[in-house]
Amino acid sequence: MVNPIIDVQHLDYRYPQQAADQLTLHDISFTVMPGEWVAIVGHNGSGKSTLAKNLNGLLAPAAGTIKIDGQVLSEDTVWDIRKEIGMVFQNPDNQFVGATVEDDVAFSLENQGIPRPEMLTRVKTALTQVNMQDFATREPARLSGGQKQRVALAGMIAARPQILILDEATSMLDPRGRQEVLATIREMKANSELTVLSITHDIDEAASANRVLVINDGQLKEEGTPAEIFQHGEALIKMGLDMPYAERLKAALKRQGLQVPTNYLTEKGMADWLWQLRSNK
């Protein structure tokens, strides 16, 4: 039997300045299987980043347990567990440690004791995958927000963690840049049993997941496939997601009296359905 790689049970979290009866995360339980891609959505301030920081021990729960790859997260295991988790934040500024882009991407590899020739290959490949190969000798601080996010992602690609947590990690990229990064992550998943947890407002990123968790007011409110979650239409906006174009089109056609498919369709799926409708006339 395969065990979950992430197992969260009855997690409560409170920030130090919060009163004893206040919680930022309340009774959150979920599991993620190895190789799964899970998106976490929810409106601003619902507790998604707080959850991500609990998962790699940056914050310590008030109650509940977190198991990563079978190990209970505690003061004793946190350093081992962090080696398995790569995290990319919305604002990667605080994550840069190297004087140049390539030094920065190499940093975690040096810590892992990877031999230099392999390190150089991995750094180069990772920078090429995120389209930053021409910036290898630049200073990370001088890059744009989107470029910084690409470099932070390259660091994770090179380090090859078992679990990749993306906290709004594509938010500063333009739509094409986001698609490129998502394609890179899909490729990484195809080549290894990478588990991805992505916190996002981006509908395409959420649609790339196998499963979506909806967090509201610090609680896990819903869980389902992207198709199940996207059927909520207008309620998606309350969940912190933008409604996909195909769903907006469906809603508009429905208002015109057309019987539209109830299952979730991509833009291509919607276009195919419209073609079929037209040829059946």
Ligand X SMILES: Nc1ncnc2c1ncn2[C@@H]1O[C@H](COP(=O)(O)OP(=O)(O)OP(=O)(O)O)[C@@H](O)[C@H]1O
Cβ 27 to ligand X, closest distance in Å? Answer: 15
- 155 touches ligand X by CB under 6 A: no
Q: Which residue lies nearer to ligand X by CB, 15 or 275?
A: 15
Q: Which is nearer to ligand X, 104 or 168 (CB)?
A: 168
Backbone angles phi, psi at 250, to 5 degrees: -60, -45
The correct pick among 2, 20, 21, 44 for binding ligand X (CB under 6 A) is: 44
Exactly one of 36, 42, 147, 239 binds ligand X (CB under 6 A); which one?
42
Contact 132, 123 (CB under 8 A): no
CB of 209 within 8 A of CB of 41?
A: no
Query: Which of 80, 62, 61 shows the shortest CA–CA distance to 70?
Result: 80
Give yes or no for residue 140 binding ligand X (CB under 6 A): no
Pairwise CA distance, residues 146 & 100, whole Å: 16
Stretch that binds ligand X, among 37-45, 138-146, 156-164, 183-191 (CB under 6 A): 37-45
Q: Which stretch binds ligand X (CB under 6 A): 27-35, 38-46, 229-237, 247-255?
A: 38-46
Per CB under 6 A, the list member of 6, 8, 24, 209 interacting with ligand X is 24
Binding to ligand X (CB under 6 A) within 239-278 occurs at: none
Residue closer to ligand X, measured from CB, 95 or 266? 95
| CB closer to ligand X out of 46 and 198 | 46
Q: Could you say whether residue 226 binds ligand X (CB under 6 A)?
A: no
Residue found by looking up tokens 């398995």 in the block? 84
- Alpha carbon distance 50, 59 (integer Å): 8
45-104 residues near ligand X, rule: CB under 6 A: 45-50
Shorter beta-carbon distance to ligand X: residue 44 or 94? 44
Which of 66, 105 has the CB closer to ligand X?
Answer: 66
Q: Which residues bind ligand X (CB under 6 A)?
A: 15, 17, 24, 42, 44-50
